[in-house]
């Protein structure tokens, strides 16, 4: 298995959201960050958010400037963008999540684990089920989200590519 060779590709940076419809593929690389992919099967539409930190105080300056940076503001913002751009309600969305590795071993806190917990909590609060996840470990991830079928190809550095 290889990553998708397509022209219609969107790349996601840190604290970034991209939403699109098929035939697009949305890609990113992750370290301790978490990528949450939301997909609406019928519309073949989806979005990815690249979350860097677990929480921001609601209505704080940081949250206002970059909602996609914090799990508790990023996931509502991704849902909002799916609604604004494609008219898709949260009830139609399913989630997959990836990343959250602990690459820098000398860090005392495991920010990847905190990001994962906060992302799961944010999805639970809005009632979106998580269909698949690959998280943790000590290496980075490459993730490609295919909006044709909602499948995600994920490779943890040094491992083979898996499909979720």
Partner 1 sequence: MLNEPRINKAIKMVAKLSIDKGSQVFSKLIKTGARIDMENAFLGDLTTVTEDINRQNTSVVGAIINLVGDANFKFLFYVQIEDSMILADLMLKREVGTTKEFDIYASSAVQEVGNILASAISGVFASDFSINLKPTPPVVINDFVGSLFQEFLLSSVGEKNEILIIESCFHIVRNNIHAHMFLLPLGDSEKVLSYIANTM
Site for partner 1 in 49-108 (CB under 8 A): 52-53, 62, 65-66, 68-69, 101, 103-104, 106-107
User: Is the separation of the CB atoms in 54 and 72 below 8 Å?
Assistant: yes
Q: Is 114 in the site for partner 1 (CB under 8 A)?
A: no
Q: What are phi and psi of 67, to 5 degrees?
A: -60, -35
Residue tagged 């490459």 (tokens) = 142
The site that binds partner 1 (CB under 8 A) totals a number of residues, namely: 31
Binder of partner 1 out of 19, 26, 28, 40 (CB under 8 A): 28
* Residue number, 14 or 131, with CB nearest to partner 1: 14
Q: Collapsing DSSP states into helix, strand and coil, what is residue 94?
A: strand
| From candidates 19, 29, 51, 97, binder to partner 1 by CB under 8 A | 29
CA angle at residue 135 from 149 to 107, to 5 degrees? 145
Q: Is 116 in the site for partner 1 (CB under 8 A)?
A: no
The one segment of 24-32, 40-48, 76-84, 127-135 that binds partner 1 by CB under 8 A: 24-32
Q: Give which of 36, 13, 58 is closest to 152, Cα–Cα.
A: 36
- Report the candidate in 44, 52, 50 with the shortest Cα–Cα distance to residue 8: 44
| Site residues, partner 1 (CB under 8 A) | 11-16, 27-33, 52-53, 62, 65-66, 68-69, 101, 103-104, 106-107, 111, 139-142, 157
């Amino acid at each position: 298995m290889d990553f998708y060779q397509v022209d219609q590709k969107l790349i996601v940076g840190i604290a970034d959201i991209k939403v699109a419809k098929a035939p697009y593929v949305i890609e990113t690389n992750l370290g301790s960050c978490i990528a949450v992919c939301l997909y609406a099967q019928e519309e073949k539409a989806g979005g990815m958010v690249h979350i860097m930190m677990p929480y921001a105080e609601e209505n704080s300056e940081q949250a206002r400037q970059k909602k996609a940076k914090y799990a508790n503001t990023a996931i509502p913002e991704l849902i909002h963008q799916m609604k604004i751009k494609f008219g898709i309600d949260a009830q139609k969305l399913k989630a997959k999540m990836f990343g959250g590795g602990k690459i820098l071993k000398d860090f005392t806190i495991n920010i990847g684990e905190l990001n994962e917990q906060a992302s799961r909590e944010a999805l639970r609060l809005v009632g979106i089920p998580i269909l698949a996840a690959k998280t943790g470990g000590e290496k980075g991830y490459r993730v490609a989200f295919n909006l044709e079928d909602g499948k995600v190809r994920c490779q943890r550095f040094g491992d083979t590519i898996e499909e979720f």
